[in-house]
Amino acid sequence: MSRKSTKARIFLVEPTFILKVGHVSQCTRLFASQAEANGYQVVIVVPKCAPTGTPVEMEFNLVRALPNTYETFLVEGMRYRYNFQKIVSLLSRLLPKARRERAKFFLERVHWYNHFSKASIKTWESLDEIYKFNNKDRFVLPNADHLTTRSLIRYLKIKKIAQSPSVGLRFINVMENNAVPRLIQPNNLFKFLEKSKNYGIKINVAAETEGYRAFIGQFVTDTFICEYPQNHEVKPRRSSSFPKKNFTVGSLGSARPDKGFTKLKGLVTRILAAHGSKVKIVIQEGLTSWNTEYDLTLSELRSYPQVTFLPGYLTQKEMQNAVNECDVLLMPYDEPTYEFRGSAMLFEAADLQIPILVPSRTGLGEVVRKYGIGATYTGESDLNRALEVVLKLDSKILVARFQEYNSQRKKNFKKLLIG
């Protein structure tokens, strides 16, 4: 393929691009638009099964080439299992009965992982034949996963160092742990990256939060933070007076267990007891019911006249409008799960300058405390204290804090982009 453009190329690799809307598609679009605004020619590489008709594909060059790590692990591994079944059964019978199932799992995943690794190398080879990778190119993985990251670096090792593109990896403490055989731990991935840097491949490693950056920094040198590019297309609803009497609290985003949906009953009760008719609460439902606890929580929340609901499926524009109608965002995320994680909702709130309430021991809480763009709470009984802190914030000070945070986000993103 001839290169008609003289611009430097960025290959934006997004192995989790499998839904039409949501965090990944919006993140991909923002990364691509910001990269293009910085003067790069952008090629977006996504799974073969990526959805059609997305805003991303309407604006950018979308190449369907990657294997789907979710589907590969759950389906492809089983497809190749049959030919391997006799060997697995024979070897497992040599072990005590209590350990046979673990042995089967281990052997089947080894077989699956070997298959996936070979298929991935062929994917990069085919893309290389088309685009003729060179040392002026850069690969950026906005939501780096274990399997795609490892396979890309392995392929670049095969190529001559002088011709190798550079690589920018942004880890969010999700996909580096997902769809990976149990025998491969995420720490081994980070050790692998450091060895590859020493081998001569230029790799920049970023994390979404400071806590996660510090964790990865135990294994990889020169790590830094890169949150989520700012969306310059949206504008804050207000820039002056912050409401102190009548206000709206929103709990938006996926109504999942790890995002604390079932905690909302107790939290909402506390807010209503303190503020009564002065507060309106907007809650987004889940895409579907995930268990009876979800159903019970939803039923109980519906009994409050101050609570209104939004459907689980919202377009990106609808989500932005919903966020912008809130005065405060309540994000009761599970603390163990989100110890190192950030959230797309936090970044959308920052774009619109909406203050945030979040549990203290989370990656999000760390950001809120550092920049003063909301308040953290330590438990249900502490929520109203945190809410009062937000309601008493001076609007001009709050705007200045968001501007500082968004300015830093811009610098961090450019660092990942340029390397």
Query: Helix, strand or coil for residue 418?
Result: helix
Of residues 104 and 283, the one with the higher pLDDT is 283
- Please report where in the chains the tokens 């996926």 appear, as a residue: 254
Domains observed in the chain:
9-226 (3.40.50.11930), 247-404 (3.40.50.2000)
- Contact assessment for residue 313 and residue 287, using Cβ atoms and an 8 Å cutoff: yes
Query: Which range, of 44-48, 56-60, 240-244, 345-349, averages the lowest pLDDT?
Result: 240-244
What pLDDT does residue 58 have?
Answer: 87
Within 13 Å, how many C-alpha atoms sit on residue 243's CB side?
A: 15
Would you tell me how many other CB atoms lie within 10 Å of the CB of residue 330? 26
Nearest one of 349, 347, 314, 342 to 21, comparing CA atoms: 314
Q: Which tokens sit at 195? A: 């060895």
Annotate 380-415 with DSSP letters as a single string: GGGHHHHHHHHHTS-HHHHHHHHHHHHHHHHHHHHH
Q: Could you report the per-residue pLDDT of 149-199, keeping only the tens digit for each?
A: 999 999 999 887 677 899 999 999 887 764 444 555 668 889 999 999 988
The pLDDT of residue 278 is above 60: yes
Task: Name the band, by pLDDT with cuts 50, 70 and 90, for residue 377.
Answer: very high
- Please report where in the chains the tokens 């070979």 appear, as a residue: 118
How far is residue 412's CA from residue 406's CA, in Å, rounded to a whole number?
10
